[in-house]
Amino acid sequence: RVLASQRGFHGLLSLVLDSCGMWLVIILTGLGTGVAGAWLDILVRWLGDLKEGRCTYGFFYNQVTCCSGLDPGEVCNQWQTWSEHFNIKLVFAQSILQSFIYITLGITFAGSAAVLVQTYAPYAFHTGIPEIKAILSGYVLDAFLSPWTLLIKALGLALAVASGLSLGKEGPLVHVSCCMAFLFSKMFKQVYGNEARKRRLLAAAAVAGVSVAFGSPLGGVLFGLEELDTFSSGTDVMWRGFVTSVIAAMALQYVDPFGTSKLVLFQVQISEVTTVWRAFELIPWLFLAILGGVLGSLMIKLNAAAAVYRRSSILHQWPVFEVVGFSALTAAVSYLVVFLRAQSSELVANLFLECDASRGDYHGLCNPTATWANVFLLILTAATKLALTAWTFGMMIPAGIFLPTIAIGACLGRAVGLITQGLHHAYPKAWMFSSCPPEPTVPCVSPGFYAVIGASAMLGGVTRMTVSLVVILFELTGALSHVLPIMISVMVSKWVGDYFGKEGIYSIWIAMREYPWLPPNEFRDRGETAMNIMKPAADLVVLREDAHGCTLQDIDQVVRTYRFHGFPVLFGDELVGYVTRDRLKTTLAPLLAEDATSGAQRKCTFAARPTESNAAVIDLSPLLEESVLHLRKEMPLELVVSMVQKLNLRHVLVSERGKLAGIITKTDIVRLVTADFPYTAALSERQW
Amino acid sequence: RVLASQRGFHGLLSLVLDSCGMWLVIILTGLGTGVAGAWLDILVRWLGDLKEGRCTYGFFYNQVTCCSGLDPGEVCNQWQTWSEHFNIKLVFAQSILQSFIYITLGITFAGSAAVLVQTYAPYAFHTGIPEIKAILSGYVLDAFLSPWTLLIKALGLALAVASGLSLGKEGPLVHVSCCMAFLFSKMFKQVYGNEARKRRLLAAAAVAGVSVAFGSPLGGVLFGLEELDTFSSGTDVMWRGFVTSVIAAMALQYVDPFGTSKLVLFQVQISEVTTVWRAFELIPWLFLAILGGVLGSLMIKLNAAAAVYRRSSILHQWPVFEVVGFSALTAAVSYLVVFLRAQSSELVANLFLECDASRGDYHGLCNPTATWANVFLLILTAATKLALTAWTFGMMIPAGIFLPTIAIGACLGRAVGLITQGLHHAYPKAWMFSSCPPEPTVPCVSPGFYAVIGASAMLGGVTRMTVSLVVILFELTGALSHVLPIMISVMVSKWVGDYFGKEGIYSIWIAMREYPWLPPNEFRDRGETAMNIMKPAADLVVLREDAHGCTLQDIDQVVRTYRFHGFPVLFGDELVGYVTRDRLKTTLAPLLAEDATSGAQRKCTFAARPTESNAAVIDLSPLLEESVLHLRKEMPLELVVSMVQKLNLRHVLVSERGKLAGIITKTDIVRLVTADFPYTAALSERQW
């Protein structure tokens, strides 16, 4: 009785698990991503601060935690720089020691990240978003989502970010989140077994990743919609992504890694001055938007060129040395320029802030006498960061491109803001500034907001996203009253960027690595039809049966000889359907083994006619793929492309009045659509 | 020479116009919608204030404009109520006169709106969003977008809103915007001629409508994405919608109808108290979310039942009298309850605001001694508004459902907020409130934000949207720090609502009016295939030709006899293609006229074989539709539905080994998918 009731309970449990499997995985993924993101933040902070010093009463405290609980005016003695720790008095020796430890630890972190990635999980390198886009559109690459990749990516990411290299944690967190969803999904047969369900789950997980990376639950959903093309799978996916995103953000807020109990990362101060913007400011903002479009395109070009060069040069053999060398270079350069030395997130947070006498001045940024020096320094920082990032994004370490891009844009924006402010101070009576308050002491231009505009323009130029960028940016900054200028700058920078090439950086990388991914853009043919792109029937290997059916041996022969994904099946000349090699193999093996001698001679048929239904003939028609489309060869190419895009088809058969004319695979369509991308297939790793 | 250069210039101009046509229409639509929205606001304000009094120095000033330019303390003498104007001293007579004018004008406004709609543009009634959804998914209904509809909808909308009926201007503004785009598109041949392009343009226009209605450029884009299913047309549409939305919002901000130079309609005050929310508040918020889901579903049910009742009762014959009678009822009831008397937008704005001693108290809402009276009043208002709205939405006047829904939700939210606040004041030491500041004088609960939560929950229940609601709500209120609670409440209310029926109010109306629109939801078959739903070939009218071809007379006969949209073409038994009746008609007419006597006997062929190419046989094969799909009859129904959904097909031919097996039209799929909706086709107006 106990057993029976247990079975009953188990049965009930497994029923519940079956029906809620997807939701459970989603909730777990959301929680996991939120917690992982929070702990990564804490780890990065600690590692980053370790480069500068240590906490006297506990090695594992970062600077902020170490100094917490002090009154505003009090000096923090608990946190010691390394020179204080080793009790070095000489100023020269101090600075040597500090820079030595800073650079050495930076190199060590970056080097260990590279060793980890190289040794244990090569798929953990880079941002991961191109691969996720490809996977979401149907590419099967389970190694990319393995638990090892998860572990190494998370650990490597923390090390890489702390090393001071010019990279962000945003894209990799999306990858981490997807790995986590994949891991959890293995607990539930019905999610794991089904490729389409798995993809939907991964889409929701990716949303959670962005949600946590930026503390932007809405922006995450929109990122999923816009960049990951989860459009095509319908509103269910959005709804699930929405839930995952909320849960992840709640988990993040619960852990509260920054101790601010706020999701907003870079709070922009909303004072009466800054909520109003004036029409003349559109001129510098448009300039920033155009600059963002141009520099964004430049960054894409440089990055692609660097990746291609790396592949063809000797560096390809020595990825770890490349990382070590480049991190040494980065650390050395960064140590010289004050704005480069800090972590990017700290820099951005300060660039977004308005000057305020009540708060400390960040490295003299608010010093009114040093405007031009600051402008020079900011432009230098932006230029250096652009060059560093273009090389870093693609090395053998986890690396995101969002934060460096924001930092570059924020530097430029702040510089333009400072220039505008300087002009206003110099010529307060100019007609341009007539809408400013008459008293010159009342601030009119707020350079902090120019930094936000610069960041959005730069992001627009690099990623070519629109709506999601705007949402992420104003969830990041809270600058709701300025949504219109942010939208305008994203819009213009995308326009300008599109002039230099329509594709964002992720699409370029997908094309370079030749993943089977179709850009969602509209394709226009020039009168071509399906016929122009299909592999003609004459070149295809087919399974042909005649009125007598075919023998198992015939089929076995074809399956053994050719490694194609599947074969069209003909009856005489007539097209019957399509059957995959995998399915044939698993069905044939037992049939052949059953009767080793005569088995191979047994008749079988795909075109099961009711009249021929005798027991001797094996009916193979259930093996035919039900969902393979047959198109006519006169179908316009435009329509074929749009069908493959929207229905996510692997292959379509082309027929002419019931006879096989040819076959079109997704690969053909991808090649067709990405033909004019720069560097297509330059980093391709394998045939697919 | 002058002529030639003029021609050159004209040529150039028309070339430019041709290539930029779409963008020009988009820009014009954006500007037009922004300006129209702003002027509608001004008109509504003036008409609304006219019910209460007039400006002494100018009849066309509304109360705010009339009293502008005064110092804060000064009393406004320029604005006179009607009893002041007619110099009536008796208090009793005053209130009689005021209520008489209030109710009479309300009835007059509503009545004239109904007369206008009834007489000139019946399509201008209701919200318009269901029709726009149907049009965007391929339904051709040009009368709905005519200039007359535009004019009547705009004018009628202003009258209807000012009449005090329980309706909003949001949905109708989307309709106005689409009419405008349609009007502008007529100037550009290449946009107007092409149905697909027209649909894309309308999608962008709809986005602009929402953008202006809520002052929410981002929310507009998301509304387009989520509710209007512009997903399927790819990222280009989103991008265009984004641009239109920005332009419309800029135009709106430029006209600045409220004189605040802000887009945010209902600014929520962000003080230090309100930016922090506490975990215990999730309990009342969850309660609100559940309430929103339940009441939202109730509202949908009531509204559908009212619409069906109206159709079957005598009211159907007398729509204007219905409007007049119901507006009298509404005015009478509203005059009694103080919160109902004000315009909904004013009520919502005040419900969203926190109590603040420095600002006036809105009808005693902040009176701490009248908490329970206010709670009662708010719940009464919500209940009345719910009943009124359920009937109003569907009468013969332009009417949106967004604002009334927000108002109902805000009332309930504020009531729950007041209750929570009351509990906190009564039991400050309860464990629930342990996270509140210890001093009882410091406010802990902010009822204004509860109103926002209530509004989002109610909206979630009625419309079943997710992301776009959240964005619209926090663009409306600026409550960025509270994005997580808003998301949670929308999420829960949708969950609860979905339990009572999956469809939002717009989908229900589409199904009731039986428009050919497919919900984007996933459809799951139970093993059915295309065969189960197709009209079998035996029941179809086909054009059949044999080895001798067919004669023009045969075809002419078929075209004259049957009114179907088109006919499958067979060669013997073999399926050749599909040809539309329109195309056949326009081609046949000149051929038959050419040679009246023998013309009808001329041979023609669709299956143009190269061997038969003699001049006597007319080749009709170019008439065949290139893009009609041929599916196999074994295709799973699931896949057929998803194909029709995603590729927006009108009909697919079902074949079996090259022979025609049947045909599936969009209508069949719509019937299949909407079969289990309540009240399907209850308001259907025509066969399609």
* pLDDT at residue B685 is higher than 80: no
Q: In the predicted model, is pLDDT for residue A273 greater than 60? A: no
pLDDT at residue A384 in the model? 92
For residue B225, list chain A residues with Cβ-Cβ distance below 8 A. Answer: 225, 467
A22-36, A345-359, A450-464, B35-49: lowest mean pLDDT where?
A345-359
pLDDT for res B687:
42
| pLDDT digit string, tens, across residues A529-579 | 878 888 887 788 887 777 677 777 777 888 888 878 788 888 777 777 788
Q: Tokens at residue A552, please?
A: 């198992």
Q: Is the pLDDT of residue B194 over 60?
A: yes
Q: Are B484 and A263 inside 8 Å of each other by CB?
A: yes
Mutation site for B-interface testing, chosen from A210, A245, A246 by largest number of B Cβ within 10 Å: A246
Number of H helices and E strands in chain B, helices first, is 27, 12
- In chain B, residues with a C-beta closer than 8 Å to the C-beta of A520 are 234-235
- Name the residue among A467, A634, A658 with its Cβ closest to that of B238: A467
Nearest CB neighbour to A264, from listed B481, B627, B632: B481
How many residues appear in chain A?
688
Name the residue among B231, B466, B520 with its Cβ closest to that of A242: B466
pLDDT tier for residue A296 given thresholds of 50, 70 and 90: very high
Q: Is B668 on the interface with A (CB under 8 A)?
A: no
Residues 590-649 of B with CB under 8 A from A: 624, 626-627, 629-632, 634-636, 639, 642-643, 646-647
The pLDDT value given to residue A298: 94
A468-477, A587-596, B192-201: range with highest mean pLDDT: A468-477
Q: Which fold has domain B16-66+77-255?
A: Clc chloride channel (1.10.3080)
Structure tokens given for B272: 């230090």
ipTM: 0.76
Assign A612 a pLDDT band (cuts: 50, 70, 90).
Answer: low
Contacts of A236 in chain B (CB under 8 A): 521-522
pLDDT tens for B557-594 read 788 888 787 888 887 777 777 888 888 888 777 777 76
Give B363 to chain A, closest Cα distance, Å. Answer: 28
Cβ-Cβ pairs closer than 8 A, A with B, add up to 166
Has residue A93 got a pLDDT over 90? Answer: no
CATH 1.10.3080.10, chain B: domain bounds: 16-66+77-255, 276-325+370-384+402-513
Of the candidates B242, B250, B642, the beta carbon closest to that of A484 is on B250
Q: Is A23-66+77-255 in CATH node 3.40.50.300?
A: no
Q: How confident is the model at residue A688 (pLDDT cuts 50, 70, 90)?
A: very low
Nearest-CA residue of chain A relative to B570?
A657
Collect all residues of chain A within an 8 Å Cβ-Cβ radius of residue B245. Answer: 487
Of the candidate ranges A439-443, B124-128, B463-467, the one whose mean pLDDT is the lowest: A439-443
CA distance B517 to B524: 18
B488 touches chain A (CB under 8 A): yes
Give me the mean pLDDT over the B56-79 stretch.
75
Average pLDDT, chain B: 80
pLDDT for the residue A1: 46
* 3-class state of residue B279 by DSSP: helix
Of the pLDDT bands very low, low, confident and very high (cuts 50, 70, 90), residue B454 is very high
- At A272 the pLDDT is 46
Which is nearest to B534 in space by CA: B680, B669, B624? B669
Q: Which residues contact B162 (CB under 8 A, 6 or more apart)?
A: B43, B44, B47, B48, B50, B51, B109
Interface subset of A 153-172, CB within 8 angstroms of B: none
Q: What is the mean pLDDT of residues B20-46?
A: 85
Residues within 8 A of B (CB atoms), A 441-470 only = 466-467, 470
- For B349-358, how does the pLDDT look when each residue is reduced to its tens digit (9 = 90+)? 888 887 776 6
Among A242, A217, A188, which residue's Cα sits nearest to residue A34? A217
CB atoms B574 and A657 under 8 Å: yes
**Cα–Cα distance, B89 to B685 (Å, whole number):** 55
Residue B23: band (very low, low, confident or very high) from pLDDT cuts 50, 70, 90: confident
Which part of chain B is CATH 3.10.580.10?
Answer: 530-674
What does the pLDDT average to over A636-663? 80
Sign of torsion over alpha carbons A310, A316, A320, A321: negative
Task: Give me the half-sphere count of Cα atoms (radius 13 Å) on the Cβ side of residue B565.
Answer: 12
DSSP labels for B179-231?
HHHHHHHTT-HHHHS-HHHHHHHHHHHHHHHHHHHHT-HHHHHHHHHHTS-GG
CA separation for the pair A231, B257 (Å, rounded): 36
- Residue identified by tokens 């499997």 is A21
In 3D, which of B638, B607, B279 has the Cα closest to residue B431? B279
Contact B246 A484 (CB under 8 A): yes
pLDDT of residue B341: 79
Q: Which CATH number does B276-325+370-384+402-513 carry? A: 1.10.3080.10
Instruction: Mark yes or no for CB contact B521/A243 under 8 Å.
Output: no
Q: Coil, strand or helix: which one is A342?
A: coil
Which of A331-340, B227-236, B488-497, B634-643 is most confident? B488-497
Q: How do residues A133-169 score in pLDDT, each as one tens digit?
A: 888 877 878 888 888 889 999 999 999 988 888 888 8
Task: Give B571's strand partners.
Answer: B545, B574
Which of residues 505 through 524 in chain A touch B, CB cutoff 8 A? Answer: 520-522
Can you give the pLDDT at residue A229? 67
- Of the residues B487, B529, B635, B637, the best mutation for testing chain A's interface (the one with the most A CB atoms within 10 Å of its CB) is B487
**Per-residue b or e along B235-244, where b marks 16 or more CB atoms closer than 10 Å to that residue's CB:** bebbbbbbbb
Tally of CB atoms within 10 A around B372: 11
For testing contact with chain A, the best of B200, B223, B266, B632 (most A CBs within 10 A): B632
User: Which pLDDT value is given to residue A423?
Assistant: 87
Q: What is the 3-state secondary structure (H, E, C) of A32-68?
A: HHHHHHHHHHHHHHHHHHHCCEEECCCCCCCHHHHCC
Task: Tell me what the mean pLDDT of segment B306-324 comes to.
Answer: 86
Of A217, A225, A494, the CB nearest to B483: A217
pLDDT confidence of residue A6: 55
B126 to A307, B14, B113, B130, B384: CA distances (angstroms): 57, 39, 12, 9, 20
Does residue B2 surpass a pLDDT of 60?
no
Q: Specify the pLDDT at position A53.
A: 82
**Contact residues for B165 (Cβ-Cβ < 8 A; gap 6+):** B106, B110, B326, B327, B330, B388, B392, B397, B399
- H/E element, B516: none
Alpha carbon distance, N-terminus to C-terminus of chain A: 55
pLDDT at B412 over 90: yes
Q: Search chain B and give the residue with CA nearest A242.
A: B467
pLDDT digits 0-9 by tens, A304-316: 999 888 888 888 8
Q: Indicate the CATH number for domain A272-312+337-513.
A: 1.10.3080.10
Shortest distance, CA B566 to any CA of chain A (angstroms): 18
CB spacing of A234 vs B521 below 8 angstroms: yes
Could you tell me the CA-to-CA distances from A615 to A144, A234, A313, A570, A610 in Å, in that order? 46, 45, 64, 22, 12
Classify the C-alpha dihedral B337-B338-B342-B346 as positive or negative: negative
In chain A, CATH 3.10.580.10 sits at: 530-673
Q: Which residues of A touch B465 (CB under 8 A)?
A: none
C-alpha torsion sign, points B14, B15, B16, B19: positive
Helix (H) or strand (E) holding B574: strand B574-580
**Whole-angstrom distance, CA of residue B233 vs CA of residue B383:** 41
Q: What pLDDT score was predicted for residue B688?
A: 40
Q: For residue B112, list its beta bridge partners.
A: none
Q: Which range (A363-372, A546-555, A601-610, B339-348) has the least confidence?
A: A601-610
Chain A residues within an 8 Å CB radius of B244: none
pLDDT tens across A106-116, in order?
899 999 999 99
Select the residue of B225, B494, B629 nearest A225 (Cβ to Cβ).
Answer: B225
Q: How far is B436 from chain A (nearest CA, A)?
A: 15
Name which of A481, A529, A632 is nearest B264 (Cβ-Cβ): A481
Residue B27, H or E segment? helix B2-50
Q: Which CATH fold topology does A530-673 show?
A: CBS-domain (3.10.580)
* Best residue of A264, A268, A646 to probe chain B, by most B CBs closer than 10 Å: A646
Beta strands B659-665 and B535-536 are: antiparallel
Looking at residues B356-362, what average pLDDT do you find? 71
Q: How far is CA A582 from CA A543, A590, A666, B196, B576, in A?
A: 15, 14, 18, 41, 34
Which of A558-567, B95-104, B319-328 bottoms out in mean pLDDT, i.e. has the lowest? A558-567
Question: How high is the mean pLDDT of chain A?
Answer: 81
Span(s) in chain A for CATH 1.10.3080.10? 23-66+77-255, 272-312+337-513
Say which range, B136-140, B234-238, B316-320, B647-651, has the weakest mean pLDDT. Answer: B234-238
Which CATH entry fits the domain spanning B530-674: 3.90.25.10, 3.40.30.10, 3.60.110.10, 3.10.580.10?
3.10.580.10
Tokens of A480: 């709701």
Contact (CB<8Å) B521/A225: no
Q: Using the beta-carbon criterion (under 8 Å), do B522 and A270 form an inter-chain contact? A: no
DSSP state of A269: P
pLDDT in tens, B483-526: 788 888 988 998 899 888 888 888 888 888 888 777 777 777 77
Length of chain B in terms of residues written: 688
Q: Which residues of B touch A278 (CB under 8 A)?
A: none
Residues 6+ apart with CB under 8 A from A512: A304, A307, A308, A679, A680, A681, A682, A683, A684
Q: What confidence tens digit (pLDDT) does each residue in B530-547 have?
A: 788 888 877 878 877 776
